[in-house]
Structure 1
Amino acid sequence: MSFARTALLMAAMTALFLFFGLMLGGEAGMLIALLVAAGLNFMAYWRADKIVLSMHGAREVTKHDAPELVSIVERLSRRAGLPMPKVYIVDDAQPNAFATGRNPENAAVAATTGLLRLLSHDEVEGVMAHELAHVKNRDTLTMTITATIAGAISMLANFALFFGGNRNNPLGIIGTILMMILAPMAAMLVQMAISRTREFAADREGAEICGQPLALASALARLHQGARTTVSERAEQNPATAHMFIVNPLSGRSFDSLFSTHPRMEERIMRLEDMAERGGFTRPARGRSAGSSVPETHTSGKSRGPWG
């Protein structure tokens, strides 16, 4: 069902692209934008992973550099039936993680130093399983293509702004102005809907991969709180990548709204807890009581993670 919904949303994005391109720039404007979008898609397909990793200053690690983290990813990859992805660490105090890559054979997962300091071993497993679920479902490619189409729609709006749009537009000049405003907003809404859909799916499949829905629920609660209180400068400089992270990395956007890239955290946690009850999972996250989604309160500055 989630794949069908994602396909429908992407079809809606494409329809928006074609419609607004025709209305704003006419056939010539739509053709130019289409050619540019094709070029961007080609570049995104082959280079998106390297671009995103570079944006966030990620460094690749091996078992020699980060033995526990790499071992976790290696073990979970086997469970998921995936090739071993490259593993990266981002030097960022904000606890977060993301995955990138055009397919499972060219995938990478990244965790911030803040995440490794904050979470327990079981919680890190839950987060990495979530990211591997994105890889398995090829969500990173889906989101890259969707973002590119959304960017093309915004480009068409700018084209209309500078060149006056399609003078034969049956809606007239007022209609053109309205579409210049509404086109990027409509594209963003579809993009956010796709992102939210894939986060729920990755939570579910990630919990199945690690076998610990409660550990992932606990990790999400901790990461949500950490992202709200710790600003990530790199994320603020690159807001277009926000949807790739397991929790929203942008300051001032931790609340759920019409334009949020992520679903409500309370709902994500509730679904995982319901999954644990229905599925008979018995292995809770370390350091927390089973069935509780509220993270423990830390009274010292010491790290609770195994990488501290």
Structure 2
Amino acid sequence: MMRIALFLATNLAVLIIASITLKLLGVDRLTDTDLTTLLIFCAVIGFSGSFISLFLSKWMAKKSTGTQVIDQPRTHHEQWLVATVQRLARDAGIGMPEVGIFPAYESNAFATGWNRNNSLVAVSQGLLERFSREEVEAVLAHEIGHVANGDMVTMTLIQGVVNTFVMFFARIFGSFVDKAIFKNEDGPGIGYFVATIFAELVLGILASIIVMWFSRWREFRADAAGANLAGTGAMIGALRRLQAESGRESEMPATLSAFAISAGLKTGLAGLFMSHPPLEVRIAALQQRG
């Protein structure tokens, strides 16, 4: 129920921001014959959703995972966790993130936030219970690597570009079908709306392949950053521990899977939609790196 409420709130915010921005730009009346106007319209809508999700990312992550931020460490384990993140953040040259723990048996962690100096790093209770401190440190270093690399912002920009062109070409296709097949010259008709929705679905699937390819590439960079901060051996050890537990079903919300340390494994064509490379490939890359 909470996730549905978050989804509706985000989309409502997108509509409000997009409406205000379009009126300020003077393009609130869309005409498909004007490609520049159409492109501006699509860019505003496409980037609005991405940036609103980015700015709300920490709040949404806390609500959807039940993450409890450690404001004042109460136990020796919490003190160690906060001190470790503080040291890794300092070594990576970023501001101190918020540190949290979320209640999940699955061993996982994630990082999110709208900039390098205003982020959140959280680990699951299961990871803390079953991983050694060296392995936990490596996982934290991987997540700090995501923050230091600016992955959240970069992913937002790529998603915004993808959203823009999916909407743009879908509407061009819809206009073509409406006029060429349905011979409608009196403005958008039923053919336009059906063809546009169909094109958005197809192009959206193809665009997801591009976004997920970039997401997989980011994981190699975050692994390398984690190896630099915590040691290559520790990073490989953490990934091997995750590999041993990879049979468990992921409890991570889909909206955060791209920023987690691990995600579900898919094969065949479904592998094109993986947010993470296979763990054995990531381990091999670190071994080759030395």
User: 1:167 Cα shift?
Assistant: 3.3
User: 1:263 Cα shift?
Assistant: 1.1
Which residue pairs with 1:63 in the alignment? 73
Matches within 5 A, 1:108-147: 108-147=120-159
User: Secondary structure at 1:267's aligned position in 2?
Assistant: helix
Matched, 1:273 2:256: no
| Post-superposition CA distance 1:209-244 (Å, at most 9, x none) | 11x212111211222332432441xx3xx3232111
Matched, 1:239 2:249: no
CA gap 1:29/1:113 in 2 versus in 1, 3 angstroms: same
Matches within 5 A, 1:50-129: 50-61=59-70, 62-65=72-75, 66-129=78-141
RMSD: 3.0
Distance of 1:145 and 1:241 partners within structure 2:
16
Is the Cα contact below 8 Å between 1:96 and 1:227 reproduced in 2?
no
User: Secondary structure at 2:247's aligned position in 1?
Assistant: helix
Is the Cα contact below 8 Å between 2:47 and 2:157 reproduced in 1?
no
Amino acid at match of 1:217: I
| Post-superposition CA distance 1:59-104 (Å, at most 9, x none) | 1014335112112111212222222111011111111111111222
Of 215, 220, 226, the residue aligned with 2:245 is 226
Which residue pairs with 1:283 in the alignment? none
Matches within 5 A, 1:151-166: 151=163, 165-166=174-175
Larger relative helix fraction: 2
Is the Cα contact below 8 Å between 2:167 and 2:200 reproduced in 1?
no
Distance of 1:149 and 1:54 partners within structure 2:
28
User: Percent of aligned positions with the same letter in both sequences?
Assistant: 29
Which residue pairs with 1:188 in the alignment? 208
Matches within 5 A, 1:197-216: 197-210=217-230, 212-216=231-235
Unpaired stretches in structure 1, ≥5 consecutive residues: 1-24, 277-308
User: Secondary structure at 2:245's aligned position in 1?
Assistant: helix
TM-score with structure 1 length normalisation? Answer: 0.68
Of 256, 261, 264, the residue aligned with 2:278 is 264
Distance of 1:59 and 1:151 partners within structure 2:
33
Amino acid at match of 2:233: L
CA gap 1:101/1:113 in 2 versus in 1, 3 angstroms: same
Is the Cα contact below 8 Å between 2:262 and 2:276 reproduced in 1?
yes
Is the Cα contact below 8 Å between 2:51 and 2:156 reproduced in 1?
no
User: Secondary structure at 2:275's aligned position in 1?
Assistant: coil
Unpaired stretches in structure 2, ≥5 consecutive residues: 1-31, 183-190
Matched, 1:217 2:236: yes
Distance of 1:32 and 1:108 partners within structure 2:
32
Amino acid at match of 2:217: T
